[in-house]
Chains A and B, each alone.
Chain A
Amino acid sequence: MSWLAEVDWASVLIQGTLIGGLYALFAIGLSLAFGIMRLVNIAHGDLIVLCAYLAMIVVNATGMHPLLSIAVVVPLMFVLGYLLQRGLLNFTLGPSILPPLLVTFGISVIIQNLLLEVFGADTRRLNAGAMETASIALPGDVTVGIFPLVIFAVALVSLGALQYLLYRTRLGRAFRATSDDADTAELMGIDNRHLYSLAMGIALAFTALAAVLFSIRTSFDPAAGPINLIFAFEAVIIGGLGSLWGTLLGGVILGVSQSLGGSVVGPSVSMLIGTQVSAQWQILTGHIVFIIILIVKPDGLFPRIRD
């Protein structure tokens, strides 16, 4: 295994960590909806892709820089999230997990196929110009892309903002009260239906932020939703349900696993069985690490909520 010495370990680890920031951003919306109303949104990945198409429409219509489309897409998705929860998802909440699961599953299929009918199956990508390729050199011959650094920084700021919102504001206190005991919170004068709708609005606002960054970094198509849901889900479960910074760690572990999968695990296996290296090893290794963590620590690394 002498070729392992040629692997640029520092670079592999840094790239993995930075992509983990994007997964943590994906996971925020999923985690928030589960934490506050115990709703697992199967359509989460498709909503990410929907946001990416919305950003594309905005950019094509106005010619603005893709990053500026955040100012349009985030408020739009907040409103959509509020209405989705108020008009639809609130009616599914109850003792049985079946209705919310199957309704969001239905929404997932509807969004995917609508996008397919409207935009076709072509892959798309937003062009952010020079920013995409710019990089800075670190000591030890390691170069880091500016854009991945920006994504990671946005993830840190988002998690910080969410922490402030949940633990330092009146609204956050109401969220936590409803999460702990919805009935008692309602007795104390909290309007749960409104609160849940706000929570979904906030969840989708963060999702929109993640989606714009995602649409610049990676190409997407109408069928890209499910895999993003799975990445978000893996980050949440690895980190532990309900733990904000655990989610970041979950995202980073997933990102590093994928990075190692692409540059170390895949090539090793291919050498052993003598086949071509496939790009799928990134995703496959991430899944396998997720399953291993699930076996060793079923509640994740920093569990907060028990359902």
Chain B
Amino acid sequence: MSTAPAFTTRFDVERSTQLSRVSAVIACLGLAVLISLPWWGETGTMRLIAEMAYFLALAQLWNLLAGYAGLVSVGQQVYVGIGGYVLFATSDWYGVHPLLAILISGVAAAVISLPMALIVFRLRGAYFAVGTWVVAEIFNLFVAQVPQLGGGSGYSLTPEIVRSVAADRAGREMLMYWMALAISIAVIAFVYMLLRSRHGLALTAIRDSEAASESLGVDTYRTKLMIYVVTALCTGLLGGFIFLQKLRISPEAAFSINDWTVVVIFMVVIGGIGTMEGPIIGLLIYFAMREMLADYGSWYLILLGIVAVAVMLTAREGIWGLIGKRFDLHLFPVRRRLIQRPDSDGKPG
């Protein structure tokens, strides 16, 4: 005698996969190796890893913005620049400790991003993209007019401020390296948590169809606004850190579209937009190309441009899209899957 299966079948919501659990363990081991790097690695390697870490964070942020919320901004360099300049201004003018100033950089970027969103959100689609760029140019040109910020030629942090971070050079290199890892991992973890939360569900819905998500009760304007501000906050934090590491800032470097937006977009597009795994693949490809073609001027950018155009034309979901779809891989599972389970008495379903 058996009861109707409909009553005994249970469903669980599964939010991780075998692979994601295994890869999480591997990632933790890899992280442990990276954390120990200063004791056995060279300074050059530390700097490269630090750079890769903050570029991965920037790529995840741009991916969150463009790949999920549909806000294709080419003006994110404005928040890197604001973060950098706020760090210099607060530590130089008001004597704030640089590490605390990084937090202020993030908060300042978020505060500025809100009124800016209200302006650029009036432009839709591709015009939004160019609008964000104009805003970034305004900040770029404006900062160059302020002599207290070094004007167009920029300025350096004073030796006293540099020493307040760490007493000697080796100590500073180590601290900066760990901070690059910590900030980047915090940002990436934050993006991951956000995508796994109910906001992430709304974002995924917006990514797949904005009209349909709106009809199902997603407040798309508010969700996008929230993502824009949150992204600005994290980008500002990273900007503050990046220029604390560089010790020198100028409008051209701080608001550079090439450095902070173009390469980031290439990473995300080539790796796979709209997934968290894609930017990692894109990051590895970008740095591999850059290191291999280091002696050939800007040819690596030309090559990256060609690859990005080819990816957009032939495989819009990028390299991860091709691999992940084919083998059903999810390193960062943000989906909710219904799994049928046998009932609790152990009887078959």
Chain A residues in the interface with B (C-beta under 8 A): 40, 42, 88, 91-92, 97-103, 105-107, 109-110, 113-114, 116-117, 226-227, 229-230, 233-234, 237, 269, 273, 275, 278, 280-281, 283-284, 287-288, 290-291, 294-295, 298, 307
Contacts and interface: CB of A to CB of B under 8 A. Distances in A.
A103 B265 CA distance: 11
Interface string B284-301: 000000000000011101
Interface string B125-140: 1110111011101100
Contact of A40 (B125, B265, B273, B301): B125
Interface stretch (B154-162, B174-182, B303-311): B303-311
B129 A110 contact: no
Contact of B129 (A42, A273, A281): A42
Given A91-B313, A106-B308, A278 B126 contact: no
Contacts of B138: 284, 287-288, 291
B310 to A, nearest CB: 9
Contacts of A281: 145
Interface residues of B, number: 44
A278 B313 CA distance: 43
Given A88-B309, A106-B309, A298-B122, 12 more contacts: A40-B130, A97-B126, A106-B306, A109-B262, A109-B305, A269-B145, A275-B147, A280-B144, A287-B137, A287-B141, A291-B138, A294-B119
A110 B119 contact: no
B294 to A, nearest CB: 15
Contacts of A295: 119, 122
A117 B302 contact: yes
A98 B152 contact: no
Contacts of A229: 130
B119 A88 contact: no
A106 B312 contact: yes
Nearest to A230: B134
A42 B130 contact: yes
A307 B265 CA distance: 24
Given A284-B138, A291-B119, A278 B145 contact: yes
Interface of B: 66, 72, 74, 119, 122-127, 129-131, 133-135, 137-138, 141-142, 144-145, 147, 151-152, 257, 262, 265-266, 269, 273, 297-299, 301-302, 304-306, 308-309, 312-313, 316
Contacts of A91: 313
Contact of B142 (A100, A113, A234, A284): A284
B306 to A, nearest CB: 6
B306 A110 contact: yes
Given A113-B305, A278-B152, A284-B138, A100 B126 contact: yes
Contacts of A42: 74, 126, 129-130
A101 B66 CA distance: 11
B312 A102 contact: yes
Nearest to A241: B127
With most chain B CB atoms within 10 A of its CB, the pick from A105, A110, A287 is A105
A77 to B, nearest CB: 20
Contacts of A114: 302
B141 A97 contact: no
Contacts of B145: 269, 275, 278, 280-281, 284
B144 A88 contact: no
B123 A237 contact: yes
With most chain A CB atoms within 10 A of its CB, the pick from B135, B145, B299 is B145
With most chain B CB atoms within 10 A of its CB, the pick from A100, A109, A275, A290 is A109
A98 B208 CA distance: 13
